[in-house]
Structure 1
Amino acid sequence: MHIYAYSGVWRSSKTKGWKFIVDEETGGRLLTLDTSKTFDNLRVMVCEDFGTDLNLVNIDLSYLPSDLVIGLDSPPVFITNDRQLKNFLTYVKTKASTRLCVCIRSKVGFNLNEEPAELPNREEVGMSGEVSDDIDGEAELEEKDAKIDESDDENKCEKDMTNGKSVRFSLVDVVKKGQHFTSKAALQATMEICAMKHNFDYKVAKTDRRVWYVRCAYDDCRWRVRAEGLTGSSYFIIKKYVPDHSCAPSSRNHSVRTVSSKTVGSLIKHKYETVKEGPKPNDIIQFMRDDHGVEISYSLAWEAREYAVSVVRGIPEKGYEKVPKYLHMMKEANPGSHTFYETDSDGRFKFLFIAYGQSIRGFYAAIRKVIVVDGTFLKSKYKGVLMVATALDGNSNLYPIAFGVVDSENDRSWEWFMRQLKVVIGDDQNLAFVSDRNNSLAKALAKVYPHAHHGICIHHLLNNVVTYFKGKGVAGLVAKASKAYRVADFKKQFTAIFSISPAIGNYLIQADVRKWARCQFPGYRYDVRTNNPAESINSALRSPREFPVIPLLDSIREMMTRWFFKRRALSSKHKQPLTVAVEKKIDRRIEKGKKFQVFPVSDDRFLVRGDTFECMVDLVRRTCSCGKFDLMKIPCRHAIKAAFSVGIQAHTLTDDMYTTASWRSIYEESINPISVPEDAWIVPSHVQKAKVLPPETRRAAGRRKKRRYETVEDKIRSSQGTQSSKRRKCSRCGIEGHNRSTCDRAI
């Protein structure tokens, strides 16, 4: 169907109601629409037909259903999504006279369709319509800054046009006399974008808090703009404007005006709103080159990215003051959650803890009681450490339990984190922890969880063996010893290790065999031999670790929301009795046990032959002399073969935490976001009054890194003077000699 669309702006009055003022210069367009078009398709089509750039403007599409309107105060209907577009098309079928109203607004804060605004009276803004007459020093401006009087400029431009003299182009359709801007920054950004889009440059003749006067960079050109500020307001209004450029393109000695980092950042900030990383500086350079025909430097692109990220994700300093409100609202959205934060005596942020109630309830319902804990560094301005406690579900998926943000990994921070974790996960002999060999973490576990068992990551242990003892040839034996299910197999491997390297053997004993050997572990750690689960979560949060504290917490929440939803959908479609991962294990073990022979010993006990050694299986006690059935709680290939001999299904011998029903139960709840925008948060008075200041960072421990040895190339560059031509400063602390990635100074 054909839709007539025109550009303009809505106006309302008490006597005439709502009326759309058409922009006569822009005119109308005829659009072809059908029900397959989406809202985004329509916006792109409108921008193309009206000759605007979707990256620079916001498009408002609306219409007035006159037969449904009751009263003069009924506003127009705005089309904002696919459903509203479908409603519009359905309505237009029966009301062919309905027009689509297009309002084009610049993203830097002004309306491209808006008619020149009438200046308010003195009672409203404290100044008359002729602002220039009331601004002190106006005569001085005319004498000092205007080499050619502005009124003469306008008259001369008109005379030139009358006499047929060439005018290169006019910006009358971009900005207009009487145009108002919310701030001086918005005005400057608008003019920078205009200069960039229309390939010209200008110079600032005068600027202060009340006047902004610019003219073309070439003295012979008549183009100029003068804007004045309203008294008692941040608004600026264009008072005098010569829109025509008379300078010749051949007289230019450079391309166009270089935009500021803030202006570029305002053009690209939407690219960071729904993604983890967003464009890199080189991507921004290419974007400005392809979309705007402008070359910018890498440093400007980097500063533009920092500005855009700060606008989208918030300024780090301001994030900490929102912590009390955010944690309160998150608990309201997710009942049963435990959140806590701590500040020092000066009110500066110290520690933060968050554990979602849905995750805690799922852990107690059907999760292996093995918690992997680890810490990883944060890369935002105030740095710090993100602490993670996670488990594995019955399908071997990551199941996060708790997160903490602390200053560093030390005795106090790990003990604080463990005490907060103990609020939701109590101490128990059936509970096990797996971590690296961090001394502070080991002390905290021994102090806060004395009854739980502590295992260490075999991967870190093997790294130490290779690094400190040059034991690459022994590392394989250590790995086999750690994986052994039977004590006899472990002793065999450990004896071989001692015979090759007594030093490595003594080191492994000092590391406590019960903490790294599976068959020697006093509790149940199942197949969790490393801290890879926590490391995997750290990897999943690699980009959010660069965010300020509130966006970081919201990224964690979003990740968990997404995981819970996907796994709830996956488990609901899974019809087999055991989870996907366990069904695959059972299938592999059935294949491996095909040739085994089973000899009944009693109704429940069987001797299985055909493997490297004979195994005794007890189906009632769910044990096998190979050790795998006992430690994993999943039937081994010997137990499966014995069960088949008496017509028992393998899934009946598997622990309940591996069943599909248990898998579904732990994800039946959803991790909820905060349902209201920040300006609508309602919190108790004590939360409202709570003040949290940014943390006081300190210099990292350890010897400072020295500069690398000077190479021949360095000496050549130094002799040519290129090294000292421009001193680089750290963007975090502002001190020379290093960059943000290596900065460890207190701020």
Structure 2
Amino acid sequence: MFDSLDDVRRAVREYHIKQKRKLVTQQSGSDKYVVKCMDPECGWRLYAASGKDGDYFQIRTIKGEHVCSNEGDGQDHINMKSEFISHLILDLVKKKGDASPREIQDFVQELYQCRPSYAKAWNAKELAIDHLFGEWKASYAKLAPYLNAIQVANPGTKVEWWSDSTTDQNVRLFRGVAWAFAPAIEGFKSCCPVISIDSTTLCGKYGGRMLIVVAYDAEGQILPLAFAVIKDEEDDSWRWFMRWLREVVGPRPLCVISNLQDSILSLFNQSDSGWYTGTGQAFHRYCSHYLCESIHAAFKNDDLVKLVQWVSRQNQSSKFRLGMMRIFHTNQAAYNWLVKVGARPNEESAYHSWSLCEDGGYRHGIMAANGNDCVFNLFPRIQELPITALVELTFTESAETFVNKREAASKIVVEMQLWSNKVTATLEARRAKMSQHQIISIQSQSFFYDEVEIETRTKVKHTVKLGHDQRSCSCQKSQLTGIPCSHLLAVCACRSFNANCLVDAAYDARQLLATWTPQFRSPGSPEEWPDYVGIAYSPHCKVLKRGRRRKDVWSASVPGKLKRPGATSVYRCGMCKQIGHSIRTCSRKKGISSSSSKS
């Protein structure tokens, strides 16, 4: 007996797929199910019907035995429908939401020695996502009530809608929504004054883009701070999001690390954006990852990319100048581009926008905005999900992250450790190194500080300034990262000065614990959500382009896409499924045509 007609149908299909035999449905209703073998010379037939009360299904009769051929070529099976495949891959999609159609094809082939078509695998994944996370359009209807429930359970959570009007005053067309959870907003107050922003393509039915903002704690670990889903990534959408983000983070001056996208860059030159660099509201810096990606796209030189990456991360001016000269001799066009990138019309250069050496310490040593790669490790299915499931994932995974990080930070504080583990390890390594340095001379420049010349084991000389208003080294590590270098530590030891005073307060172990102390409170099940009487939001119905389904994962920060080296097109015949030719030249098609002409 079976619980439902669907269970009967799946069982019969699974049996025939394994046996490599094909069947057709003669009758399928609420109380009856009749199928027979597709081969007209085979008399096999099955009859199933519901019980008296209609609460179960039972196979009543099976007529005859299969006498048809069960030879298969390992390719697609006519009875292997997308709906059937969707039930097979539920666990796969749940564990790995970004599973590709190719992976689904391989998974099914391993089970049944039969490979479904690419289209079937794609559609099966869509059905599996619907089953696990809800239907795409219905998900928009649940979004506003769910976010409202989160706001009620977590006071201080910020949500901002962007929409267009419709003929119905109670329904608006969705253009974007941004959200930041209250615990993350509170925890950010104890983070370093640095955020990075990035975006990624959503691969669901309605497409769109997801914007992500992350902050950094005392360990350099990322804190997912704010999210947004927008219909299109345009100047207006970035302007809307960044103005809302300023309300979330408050008036605190921040260093913002991003890619080289014009929509983002223009905001830092607008006095009313809330991020105007001219008045110190923000300090904009380029992500070194995207900088190197731009160099690779423009000049196609891997050695040049490695050189640019090395130069961008140097903290000493002498090494930076040496690296720039090497770039000049390697590729003068790349050198000219690096000189001008990020520069305003009245500026000769803007090295501070991409070079650690010229940064001024605003980055805190953080070079890449692709900390969002780590975010997608936290939210592995995020690009594949319907919108409410997407928001729910950001909530549940953020809550779990806070629990884990809070536990780790508590141990550090209990052990009476002054700084985060990362900074403590850095200080220990530099203290071990300082014994190799030799102080050559000490000169009192004024009543307030001394100027000390120090020589390293490799005979490199650095100048350290230490006193009431001067705490710096010519190597710039201390100024750029907020952690004293080995040269400065050596002078502190010589002058009996407490080096702990030189560590940036953002690295304090108590700050680390304060970052992760706020707690998330679950909004509960839909039945427990408070009544929502606000505006309903409907998605813009997106007309997909004809052709093969496409999955664009990351946004391109530079024009054009990089093609994988050695990539070639492979033809697979649509009739015999063999590789190396098309259906137009298929010998099987010619054989069928000749048979038809003879008859």
Asked if the contact 2:98/2:384 (under 8 Å) is kept, the reply is no
2:435 pairs with one of 594, 599, 616: 594
Distance 2:365 2:585 in 1: 60
TM-superposed CA distance for 1:222, in Å, is 8.7
TM-score, length-scaled by structure 2: 0.75
State the secondary structure of the residue aligned to 1:461.
helix
Name the CA distance, whole Å, in 2 between partners of 1:515 and 1:242.
76
1:350 aligns with 2:198: no
SS at match of 1:663: helix
> Is this contact kept in 1: 2:360–2:479, CA < 8 A?
no
- Residue equivalent to 2:64: 247
- Equivalent residue number for residue 452 of structure 2: 607
Aligned to 2:539: 693
Equivalence for 1:130:
none
Q: What residue number does 2:531 align with?
A: 683
Aligned residue in 1 for 2:518:
669
Structure-2 change in CA distance of 1:283 and 1:572 (3 Å): farther
Query: 1:120-176, CA deviations, whole angstroms, 9 ceiling, x for partnerless residues?
Result: xxxxxxxxxxxxxxxxxxxxxxxxxxxxxxxxxxxxxxxxxxxxxxxxxxxxxx36x
**Does residue 454 of the first structure (1) align with residue 284 of the second (2)?**
yes
Deviations 1:228-267 (A, max 9, x none): 999xxxx6776x9745x56357x45449994644345335
| 1:548 aligned residue | 386
Could you tell me how far apart the structure 2 residues matched to 1:465 and 1:660 are? 39
Which one of the candidate residues 319, 327, 345 is aligned to 2:147?
Answer: 327
Alignment of 1:310-389 (within 5 A): 310-346=130-166, 347-364=172-189, 366-389=190-213
- Give me the whole-angstrom Cα distance separating, in 1, the residues matched to 2:212 and 2:262: 17
Q: Distance in 2 between matches of 1:203 and 1:697?
A: 34
Q: How far off is 1:543 after superposition?
A: 3.2
Residue 318 of structure 1 and its aligned partner are, at CA, apart by: 1.6
Tell me, yes or no, if the aligned pair for 2:360 and 2:480 is still in contact at 8 Å. no
Match of 1:577 in 2: 418
Within 2, Cα distance between the matches of 1:345 and 1:443?
Answer: 28
Q: 2:87 aligns with which of 262, 266, 280?
A: 266
2:259 counterpart residue number? 436
Q: CA RMSD in A?
A: 4.1
Residues 479 and 403 of structure 1: CA distance in aligned 2, closer, same or farther (over 3 Å): same
Alignment of 1:223-302 (within 5 A): 224-227=47-50, 242-243=60-61, 245=62, 247-248=64-65, 251=67, 253-254=69-70, 258=79, 260-266=81-87, 268-270=89-91, 272-273=93-94, 276=97, 280-282=103-105, 284-285=107-108, 288-289=111-112, 297-298=116-117
Equivalent residue, structure 1, for 2:586: 720
C-alpha distance in 2 between matches for 1:477 and 1:288: 48
Deviations 1:506-555 (A, max 9, x none): 32232132312334336611212222223432465453211111222222
Question: How far does residue 411 in structure 1 lie from its aligned partner after superposition?
Answer: 0.6
- Equivalent position amino acid for 1:613 in 2: K
- Taking a change above 3 Å as real, the CA distance of residues 191 and 508 of structure 1, as seen in their structure-2 partners, is closer
Aligned-pair distance for 1:668?
Answer: 0.9
Q: 1:204 to 1:588 in 2, by over 3 A?
A: same
| Native 8 Å contact 2:210 2:230 kept in 1 | yes
Cα deviation, residue 588, structure 1: 2.3
Matched letter for residue 636 of structure 1? C
Contact 1:378 1:386 in 2 (8 A): yes
What displacement does 1:435 show? Answer: 1.1
Task: Look up the match of 2:596.
Answer: none
SS of residue in 2 equivalent to 1:327 = helix
Residue 214 (structure 1) aligned with residue 34 (structure 2): yes
The CA deviation string for residues 542-596 of structure 1, in whole angstroms up to 9 with x for no partner, is 5321111122222222332232222112122223322111122112222332221
For residues 653-676 of structure 1, give each alpha carbon's deviation from its aligned partner in whole angstroms, at most 9, with x where no partner exists. Answer: 3112112111111001233443x2
CA distance in 2 between partners of 1:614 and 1:213 (Å): 87
Secondary structure, in 3 states, of the residue corresponding to 1:348? strand
Answer whether contact 2:199 2:209 (CA < 8 A) is retained. yes
Tell me, what secondary structure is at the counterpart of 2:585? helix
CA deviation after TM superposition for structure 1 residue 342, in Å:
1.9
Question: Does 2:263 match 1:422?
Answer: no
Q: Which residue of 2 aligns with 1:392?
A: 216
Q: Structure 1 residue 312: deviation in Å? A: 0.5
Q: CA–CA distance in 1 between the matches of 2:515 and 2:425?
A: 21
Cα 1:413–1:252 change in 2 (3 A) is same
User: Structure 1 length normalisation: TM-score?
Assistant: 0.61
1:200 Cα deviation after fit: 9.7
- Shift of the 649–570 alpha-carbon distance from structure 1 to 2, 3 Å rule, reads farther
SS of the residue 1:437 aligns to: coil
Return the offset for 1:395. Answer: 0.5
Trace 1:400-419 onto structure 2 (pairs within 5 A).
Answer: 400-419=224-243
Q: Kindly, what percent of the aligned residue pairs are identical?
A: 21
Deviations 1:614-657 (A, max 9, x none): 32231544322322212211111111112223445544431121
- The structural deviation recorded for 1:348 is 2.3
Give the distance between the partners of 1:724 and 1:703, measured in 2 at CA: 41
- Post-superposition offset of 1:609: 1.7
Map 1:89-108 onto structure 2 (within 5 A): none
Please tell me whether the aligned partners of residues 284 and 353 of structure 2 are also in contact (alpha carbons under 8 angstroms): yes
Shift of 1:350: 0.8
Residues of 2 paired with 1:273 and 1:709: CA distance?
32
Separation in 2, partners of 1:497, 1:257: 60
The offset of 1:696, in angstroms, is 3.8
Secondary structure at 1:573 match in 2: helix
Bigger Rg, which one: 1
- Provide Cα deviations, 1:343-368, integer angstroms capped at 9, x if missing partner: 2233322111111121121222x211
Cα separation, 1, equivalents of 2:571 and 2:10: 44
Task: Please state how far the C-alpha of 1:302 moved relative to its aligned partner.
Answer: 5.2
- CA deviation after TM superposition for structure 1 residue 477, in Å: 5.6
CA-to-aligned-CA distance 1:183-204 (integer Å, 9 cap, x gap): x556645665687899998764
The one-letter code matched in structure 1 to 2:385 is: F
SS in 1 for 2:461: coil
8 Å CA contact 1:608, 1:642 repeated in 2? no
CA 1:648/1:697 → structure 2, altered by over 3 Å: closer, same or farther? farther
Deviations 1:204-238 (A, max 9, x none): 44445x653526659877963345999xxxx6776
* Corresponding residue number in structure 2 for 1:658: 507
Q: Distance in 2 between matches of 1:444 and 1:400?
A: 22
Tell me which amino acid in the other structure corresponds to 1:444.
L
Higher relative contact order (CA 8 A, sep 6+): 2
1:297/1:711 CA distance change after superposition, 3 Å: closer
Counterpart among 472, 475, 486 of residue 623 in structure 1? 472
- After superposition, give the CA deviation of every residue in 1:360-385 in whole Å (9 maximum; x if it has no partner): 21222x21111111111111122111
Residue 614 of structure 1 aligns to a residue whose secondary structure is strand
| 662-671 or 648-657: bigger deviation | 648-657
Q: How many residues align?
A: 526
Indicate if the aligned counterparts of 1:606 and 1:642 stay in contact, CA closer than 8 A. Answer: no
What is the CA distance between 1:328 and its match in structure 2?
A: 0.8
Conserved? CA contact 1:272–1:278, under 8 Å: yes
Residue identity in the other structure for 1:349:
F
Provide the C-alpha distance between the structure 1 equivalents of 2:426 and 2:126, rounded to a whole number of angstroms. 48
Measure the CA separation in 1 of the matches of 2:309 and 2:19: 67
Separation of aligned partners in 2, 1:237 and 1:470: 65
The CA deviation at 1:311 is 0.3
SS in 2 for 1:344: strand
Instruction: Please say if residues 285 and 298 of structure 1, whose CA atoms lie closer than 8 Å, have aligned partners that are also in contact.
Output: no
Matched residue of 1:307: which SS? helix
